[in-house]
Amino acid sequence: MDAALKPANVMRYPKDPKYYCDVRRWQGIPNLERTKKGRLYVNFFTGIKGEGAGNFVVLIHSDDNGNTWTDAELVIEHDDPDCRCFDPAIWLDPLGRLWVTWSQTRQFYDGRHGVWAIVSDNPDADIPRWTEPRRIANGIMKNKPIVNSKNEWLFPSALWCHDYAKPCEDHPELASEIGANVYVSADQGKSFQYRGGALTDNRAYDEHMLIEKKDGQLWMLIRTKYGIAQSFSGDQGKTWTPGEDSGIPGPNSRFFIRRLASGRLLFVNHARVEKYSAEKVYRTRSHLQAMLSEDEGRTWIGGLMLDEREKVSYPDGVQDENGLIYIVYDFERYDAREILMATFTEEDILAGKCLSPNAQMKKLVSKATGEKAR
């Protein structure tokens, strides 16, 4: 069996110092979730040399609303040095269970990848219990699932084969899954089935997110070289319209969209981005800004600047029961090596400045201080 198809090791507070912040050489690509009792969890991935074989996932938590954090309380690493665990996500399901997922592959990309998951049914416990790792989908899932109006759980996983032709030749059986896909569980996570996917031109790493509109239509936003593409499905993900330019610019980087309790849509993206041609792949990732939509994403209002600096990226977040929004992101993965958090409300976004008493910007979650990787 290919080593990438074998489960990784899940270790609680491992002894090796390489997993901890004072030795980690780089880190980034974070995700955030909040439990029903208020515990904050963040995960991200790191390694020794950079993004590639040997990467591992780190999970940390805070019980004081982000003032202090554990370090490497859970580490996910494959015992085969040719494999890597990367692009994690984290999600609290409707039953209150915490899902930690990650992608697994040989080297940087093997044309198949695989989304793996562990689940805790007591994430607020002193020592949470975790299920054994299991593989739930082909591809890479970087963003949170959604629950649709039929109570199905939709997991956004992608196969990057479109941009990496040679690895795809090794897995012709997956040709129908090339693209930004949806895997579905209709039994609360017991089983998963591939439902369908969308393809768009000039795609990069997809990192697609899903929104179910009020009319029942699914709206998929997809990372591309030129910004953000979109696709629509009227049958809950079985078929999709051809990917097209959404009109939303971006620097070929992850963005974040989520429906809030108010019914508005929250969108966190890089604000000051020129619209380049598709040939220019990488632009500056700066000016992370939160906006709102009251018309299902047709227009955006407000604008709260979360971080105006360069090399800020990969927002992810959640809203608590009191309406406070938490967004986590990274800053200078190889230099400052910081994971940061912002907290704010919809009113702050509309005002364009922090007015609420619990609003905070650039709050430190984790900082790696080992010898720099590059």
Tens-digit pLDDT profile for residues 42-81: 999 999 888 899 999 999 999 999 999 999 999 999 999 9
Q: What is the separation, in whole angstroms, between the first and last Cα of the chain?
A: 34
Residues of the chain under the 70 pLDDT cut: 161-167, 272-283, 374
Q: Could you tell me the two tokens for 4?
A: 């990438």
pLDDT attached to residue 163: 53
Q: Could you tell me the two tokens for 152?
A: 């199905």
Pinpoint the alpha helices (H) of the chain. 165-169, 346-351
Phi-psi region of 337 (alpha: psi -120 to 50; beta: other; left: phi over 0): left
pLDDT attached to residue 161: 67
Task: Write the pLDDT tens digit of every residue in 137-154.
Answer: 999 999 999 999 999 999
Strands (E), 138-285: 146-147, 153-159, 179-185, 193-198, 203-212, 218-224, 227-233, 244-249, 256-259, 265-270
Please give the Cα distance from 293 to 267 (Å, whole number). Answer: 8
Helix (H) or strand (E) holding 9: strand 9-12
Domains of the chain: 1-133 (2.120.10.10), 143-253 (no CATH), 256-374 (2.40.128)
pLDDT attached to residue 175: 84
pLDDT attached to residue 276: 47
Q: Is the alpha carbon torsion for 282, 300, 93, 32 positive or negative?
A: positive
Q: Which residues contact 117 (CB under 8 A, 6 or more apart)?
A: 99, 100, 101, 133, 134, 136
Question: CB of 62 within 8 A of CB of 69?
Answer: yes
